[in-house]
Amino acid sequence: MKTLKELVRPAIWDLKPYSSARDEYHGTATVFVDANENPYNAPYNRYPDPMQWEVKEKIAQQKQINPTSILLGNGSDEPIDLMIRAFCTPRVDNIVAIDPTYGMYQVSADINDVAYRKVPLSADFELSAAAVLAAVDEHTKLIFICSPNNPTGNELNRAEIYSILQGFDGMVIVDEAYIDFSSHRSFTTVLDAYPNLVILQTFSKAWGSAGVRLGMAFSSKEVIALLNKIKYPYNINQLTQAYALELLDRKGEVDEWIRILLIERTRVAQLLNSLTIVHHIYPSDANFLLVRVADADKIYKQLSDQGVIVRNRNSVSLCQGCLRITIGTRAENDIVLEALKNIAL
Ligand SMILES: *Cc1c(COP(=O)(O)O)cnc(C)c1O
């Protein structure tokens, strides 16, 4: 790996971050008249903890990660954007990512005017480290890997991911948005072994809180410190921090949701298999199934006419003819299956 100083944009390396009132004073005083807050309307009158230590401590305990190795963001979208802004000089540096994958990496790269290089997965959606590393040049700062991958649903070959971590001298971002639905282990267990590893997780999927907008990035404390320098000072509001503390105490309930969704994933796959319009169901380590059907556009239209909205992935590379179907409640899944039975091609 190159040194962080060699990888980071010079302007960001030299940046002196905004210092808020809450950064400068830590402790328990009697009167806070340092931040021009209104004394009325407690508790919302106070600026929230810019570093969200209480929430991080709780996540740290559950995931066995040091709190200083955690960044919280407004969804995973925020750390994706922060990584690009921290490491990639516009029109100079580039990003390498697998294709197909989650759309936000490219959108964020485009917004930041950073070149985005796509490396196709194989026809069975497998990752080739050699192909990814072949796309790298001296201006490649980041590699995005999503595993389990969206929209394909599969966990990518771990040995290939390790080859990329070992063979690339920049940062490797492994997006684990769906890890809680996977039978495989998270890369968080090897965080200490790879200083160039950044792992993304989110409260949007297994934790059932997409509406709250809370994402996590895990990395070395040096990389996290760098991202802290450029994030908005109060990026996680008080309501979200309070909610997250409460949600993290409901881990047992979350595990039960996951258990039920995995049973449903198996059941839905089996029932889909018996439909003639379904040609192939791809293996899934996530809370959705990628399904190759007889005529994706036509089926998408007929499903939406019946009030059932799936994700049409027909125009996505390697996903021609495919619909992506999220696993819902048992009742919702039955409605989806019934609507599929009503399709007339
Ligand atoms: C859904 C999803 C996310 C979650 O994004 P948030 O901004 O945290 O809601 C992240 N990565 C992938 C691959 C996803 O599919």
3-54 pLDDT, tens digit each: 999 999 999 999 999 888 877 887 888 999 999 999 999 999 999 999 999 9
For residue 39, how far is its CA from the centre of ligand 1 (angstroms)? 38
pLDDT at 251: 97
pLDDT at 113: 98
pLDDT at 164: 98
Is there an atom of ligand 1 within 6 Å of 302 CB?
A: no
Strand 288-293 with 215-218, pairing:
unpaired
Task: Give the model confidence (pLDDT) of 217-254 as tens digits.
Answer: 999 999 999 999 999 999 999 999 999 999 999 999 99
Instruction: Report the alpha-carbon distance of residue 338 to residue 233 in Å, rounded.
Output: 49
**From 71, 149, 150, mutation site for ligand 1 pocket: most ligand atoms within 8 A of C-beta:** 150
Looking at the predicted structure, is the pLDDT value of residue 272 above 80? yes
**From 104, 156, 287, mutation site for ligand 1 pocket: most ligand atoms within 8 A of C-beta:** 104
Is there an atom of ligand 1 within 6 Å of 215 CB?
A: yes
pLDDT at 219: 98
Is there an atom of ligand 1 within 6 Å of 150 CB?
A: yes
**From 82, 179, 204, mutation site for ligand 1 pocket: most ligand atoms within 8 A of C-beta:** 204
For residue 209, how far is its CA from the centre of ligand 1 (angstroms)? 11
Looking at the predicted structure, is the pLDDT value of residue 324 above 80? yes
pLDDT at 19: 86
Instruction: Report the alpha-carbon distance of residue 144 to residue 171 in Å, rounded.
Output: 9
In the chain, % of residues over pLDDT 70: 100
Name the β-bridge partners of 312: 323
- Give the DSSP letter of residue 154: P
Is there an atom of ligand 1 within 6 Å of 175 CB?
A: yes
Total residue count of the chain as it appears in this document: 345
Q: Which residue has its alpha carbon closest to ligand 1 atom 5?
A: 76
Query: CA angle 291-283-258, nearest 5°?
Result: 100
Instruction: Report the alpha-carbon distance of residue 330 to residue 140 in Å, rounded.
Output: 45
In the chain, % of residues over pLDDT 90: 96
Instruction: Report the alpha-carbon distance of residue 180 to residue 159 in Å, rounded.
Output: 20
- For the chain, where are the alpha helices, taking DSSP H only? 4-7, 10-13, 21-24, 53-63, 77-87, 104-111, 129-134, 158-167, 221-230, 238-248, 251-273, 296-305, 330-341
Q: Which residue has its alpha carbon closest to ligand 1 atom 14?
A: 177
